[in-house]
Amino acid sequence: MAETTASIPIYILTPDKRVAAPYRASSLADAIAHEPQGVYTVARTYQSDHALLLDAHLDRLEQSARLAGIPLHLDRDHLRTGLRTLLHEANYADAKFRITVPETAPTHIYLSLEPFRPVPDAIQQVGAHVITVPLVRENPVVKTTAWMMARHSTVESLPEGIYEGIMLSEDQRLLEGMSSNFYGVLNGTLFTAGNGVLEGITRKAVIACVPDDLPLEMTALHRDDILHLSEAMLTSSGRGVVPITSIDGQPVGSGNVGPLVKTIRQRYDDWAMAHIKPI
């Protein structure tokens, strides 16, 4: 007998009711091909029904809609209630969730969620291996479902053992991960791209956790700088801070997780737990 894969909860929240989506999917990634064109945001829960900086996510969702010409009038209380109800029904220990606003029907908001899977301990201990990819967001300040589709094939084709792809600009600058922000420590200074990338919500919190004695430059590093990096990391809402110990097969620094990234990660984790709020 063939084994069946369980479907994740996917619903459409209208102004007056909730209805099941007209498709089924086994994961948020699997649902990408079915979601309508529009804008979206992704986050995770803590303690099952708490979230970090949810209003900031909703602010960016509204900004993305505005820049995409979508007439969104978001009822945040209604959305929070719908999301909270869905989380309680799913009864996951923690969840990763996506909120999608269709461009043709912005009052019909798609809510989808899956069990949250933390970064494997092995990657946090020994670091992630990443590669550079010749892929750039067409409009980095807007989170569109078109971008999810555009990057999907690249994500799926990453070689085994590669955790993330770091996007390169035409002039070989290290911009950002396909679903994360990228940082590198060069000559005692922490660098991360200031332009041409999505202004990650987690990045703002991470920057606040950088030690005072570590200078910060909002400038994209060049691919040639990889040889000279002492440490590197990526950040995202679902993963927090993740150390990077090799890029394109080149070890970063000693090839081990460095002390600065360890410090930033611990500071961010502590900051996050102090700032989560009920959905």
User: Which pLDDT band, with edges at 50, 70 and 90, does 105 fall under?
Assistant: very high
- What is the DSSP annotation of 84-137? HHHHHHHT-SSEEEEEEEESS-TTSEEEEEEE--PPPHHHHHH-EEEEEES---
Report the CATH superfamily, name and number, of domain 121-275. D-amino Acid Aminotransferase, subunit A, domain 2 (3.20.10.10)
Instruction: Please write the tens of the pLDDT for every residue from 19-49.
Output: 999 999 999 999 999 999 999 999 999 999 9
Name the pLDDT band for 167 (thresholds 50, 70, 90). very high
**Cα 29 off chain centre by:** 13
pLDDT of 117 strictly over 50: yes
State the average pLDDT for the chain. Answer: 94
Pick the CATH number of 10-115 from 3.40.50.300, 3.40.640.10, 1.20.120.530, 3.30.470.10: 3.30.470.10
User: What angle, rounded to 10 degrees, do the helices at 54-67 and 201-208 form?
Assistant: 130
Q: Kindly report whether the global pTM for this prediction surpasses the value 0.75.
A: yes
3-class secondary structure, 52? coil
